[in-house]
Amino acid sequence: MRKFVQAAKYSALGGLVAAGNAMAELPVEVTTAISDAKTDGLTVAGGFLAAIIVISALLIARRGAKG
């Protein structure tokens, strides 16, 4: 049991060290590229959403016109 607790402490410490290393600063170009990709992705997603809404509205209107 004692070895298990000691191993748990060391693994938790190792996890904290690894998390600290993951907080490295990115170059400005990378940050800008990620920001641009986010904007482009939102634009494309908005276009798909608008297309789905238009197609759904047309299908509902067509169904209503049949009677």
Supply the pLDDT for residue 11: 73
How many domains would you assign to the chain? 1
pLDDT at 56: 95
pLDDT at site 16: 55
Q: Report how far apart, in Å, the C-alpha atoms of 30 and of each of 6, 34, 35, 37 are.
A: 40, 6, 9, 10
Give the predicted TM-score (pTM) of the model.
0.53
Q: What is the b/e burial string over 55-66, where b = at least 16 CB atoms within 10 angstroms of the residue's CB?
A: eeeeeeeeeeee
Tens digit of pLDDT per residue, the chain (67 long)? Answer: 677 667 766 676 666 555 555 667 889 999 999 999 999 999 999 999 999 999 999 999 998 877 6
The residue segments making up the domain with residue 45 are 2-66
Q: What are phi and psi of 38, to 5 degrees?
A: -65, -45
DSSP 3-state of 53? helix
